[in-house]
Amino acid sequence: MASAPERAAGASDDAQRGPAHDVPFYTIGQVATLLDVPQAQLRRLDDLEVVQPERSTGNQRRYTQDEIDRLREVIELTDEGVTLPGIRKVLELRRRVDELEQQLADRDRAED
């Protein structure tokens, strides 16, 4: 029988096996509950083009796991006193670093 930590790790693994990270699946209510923030805060971040989820055919916001991760980061930066323009810049720089790391990894694989 698995120990409590092993069961907890397994439960976490199961949660991560949900929808793919880039599938717009979660509603604004689910995300607000998950992140413990008001729905109005998520709408504001969408309106200010900080994190913009896709819309369903019924025009409802649908968040991907990647967007939820980005929202966690935005909330953390906001709590640390970073302004929204600063947050946009941080997100853009991190996106660019990710692109460059991918390019390097692709180049390294091509050289092997």
Query: What single-letter amino acid sits at 51?
Result: V
Instruction: Provide the pLDDT for residue 18.
Output: 62
Q: Confidence band (pLDDT; 50, 70, 90) for 2? A: very low
Beta pairing partners, 63: 26
Mean pLDDT within 8-13? 43
For the chain, what is the mean pLDDT? 85
Q: Which helix (H) or strand (E) holds 99?
A: helix 84-111
Distance CA 45, CA 52 (A): 7
CA 12, distance to chain mean position in Å, is 17
Phi, psi of 34 (to 5 degrees): -60, -40
Mean pLDDT within 91-110? 94
Residue 32 Rama label (left phi>0; alpha psi -120 to 50; beta)? alpha
Residue range 23-70, pLDDT digits in tens: 878 999 999 999 999 999 999 999 999 999 999 899 999 999 999 999
- Which residue segments constitute the domains of the chain, with CATH numbers given? 18-111 (1.10.1660.10)
